[in-house]
């Protein structure tokens, strides 16, 4: 499945390069209009990152997210610095189908394991962003990619799968926002190692060929951000590409 992504700061559609707030590109697009446009193009899901809420949970853009969800044009997964069960519950109450949990999964896996057991694996997406070190180890980064958690992707997943984890959005940080292609080998390896996981590939998609390259990896979904906003191709083209055997 092709999943378009939208990043939001103070009600504005933006993209960050390599997760850096100082390298921000703003787009003159109304978020609700973007929902309708992507739905018209055939999207069934939208990935929302609340970057304002990630910096300050008290400023989470709940009213805007609710307006987007209330269109009922598709299903939504949303997150951005989720730190508490209250925030998980708030988003689910708004009608978000899945809450995206990032850094907290590496920092407090027991807490997130409890949420997985309480709400179920279908309600939570683990957003595990990795830096690949000199040894080839996939180390999870936290705090907007600024810190190395010291936790390996595989170690954390083995722990959280026992609690019912099903959906994992995995990003090779070195590829994000580059339009230089995804880490195809990584998705092949993790899909083979964890076949029960619905993997969402994220980062680096610059053309339809990059989507095509992911089809044999075992990934169940592809997140598209900058490439769509900059018109590298149409969402409908991406969906057709992914569906073509």
Q: Tell me which of 85-94, 128-137, 141-150, 171-180 is least confident.
A: 141-150
At residue 244, what are phi and psi to the nearest 5 degrees? -70, 125
| pLDDT tens by residue, 95-131 | 999 999 999 999 999 999 999 999 999 999 999 999 9
pLDDT band at 65 (very low <50, low <70, confident <90, very high): very high
Rounded Cα distance between 165 and 232, Å, is: 33
Answer yes or no: 7 catalytic.
Answer: yes
Tokens of 185: 């080998």
Rounded Cα distance between 175 and 173, Å, is: 5
Helix axes 85-94, 62-69, angle to 10 degrees: 30
- DSSP category for residue 218: T
What is the per-residue pLDDT for 201? 97
Q: Which of 129, 172, 176, 210 is catalytic?
A: 129
Average pLDDT over every residue of 139-162 = 85
CB 79 within 8 A of CB 127: yes
Question: What CATH number does the domain containing 71 carry?
Answer: 3.20.20.70
The string of DSSP letters for 81-137 reads: S--SHHHHHHHHHHT-SEEEE-HHHHH-HHHHHHHHHHH-GGGEEEEEEEEE-TT--
- Work out how many domains the chain is built from and give that number: 1
Rounded Cα distance between 100 and 65, Å, is: 14
Residue 115: domain span: 2-243
What is the per-residue pLDDT for 130? 93
% of the chain with per-residue pLDDT over 70:
97
| pLDDT tens by residue, 152-187 | 999 999 999 999 999 999 999 888 777 888 999 999
What is the per-residue pLDDT for 147? 66
pLDDT at 144 > cutoff 90: no
Answer yes or no: 176 catalytic.
Answer: no
Q: Which of 7, 50, 172, 176 is catalytic?
A: 7
- The pTM of the full predicted model, rounded to 2 decimals, is 0.94
pLDDT band at 145 (very low <50, low <70, confident <90, very high): low
- DSSP category for residue 181: -
For the chain, give the number of residues. Answer: 245
Beta-bridge partner residues of 152: 139
Rounded Cα distance between 210 and 75, Å, is: 25
Q: Tell me which of 88-97, 135-144, 167-176 is least confident.
A: 135-144
Rounded Cα distance between 200 and 34, Å, is: 21
| pLDDT tens by residue, 5-57 | 999 999 999 988 767 788 888 998 999 999 999 999 999 999 999 999 999 99
What is the per-residue pLDDT for 174? 85
pLDDT at 94 > cutoff 80: yes
| pLDDT tens by residue, 179-231 | 888 999 999 999 999 999 999 999 899 999 999 999 999 999 999 998 999 99
Of all helices (H) and strands (E), which one includes residue 245? none
At a CB cut-off of 8 Å and minimum separation 6, what does 147 contact?
141
The three-state secondary structure class of 54 is: helix
Mean pLDDT rounded to a whole number for the chain: 93
């Amino acid at each position: 499945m092709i999943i378009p992504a939208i990043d939001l700061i103070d009600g504005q559609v933006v993209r960050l390069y390599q997760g850096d707030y100082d390298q921000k590109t703003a787009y003159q697009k109304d978020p609700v209009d973007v929902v309708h446009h992507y739905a018209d193009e055939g999207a069934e899901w939208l990935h929302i990152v609340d970057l304002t809420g990630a910096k300050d949970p008290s400023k989470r853009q709940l009213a805007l997210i609710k307006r987007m969800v209330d269109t009922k044009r598709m299903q939504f997964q949303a997150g951005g610095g989720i730190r508490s069960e209250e925030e998980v519950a708030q988003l689910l109450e708004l009608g978000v189908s899945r809450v995206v949990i990032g850094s907290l999964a590496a920092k407090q896996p027991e807490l997130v394991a409890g949420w997985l057991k309480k709400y179920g694996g279908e309600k939570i997406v683990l957003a595990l962003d990795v830096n690949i070190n000199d040894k080839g180890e996939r180390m999870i980064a936290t705090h907007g990619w600024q810190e190395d958690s010291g936790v390996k992707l595989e170690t954390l997943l083995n722990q959280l799968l026992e609690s019912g984890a099903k959906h994992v959005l995995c990003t090779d940080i070195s590829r994000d926002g580059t339009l230089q292609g995804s880490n195809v080998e990584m998705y092949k390896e993790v899909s083979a190692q964890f076949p029960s996981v619905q993997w969402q590939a994220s980062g680096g998609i610059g053309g339809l060929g990059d989507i095509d390259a992911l089809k044999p990896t075992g990934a169940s979904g592809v997140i598209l951000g900058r490439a769509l906003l900059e018109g590298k191709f149409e969402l409908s083209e991406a969906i057709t590409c992914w569906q073509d055997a």
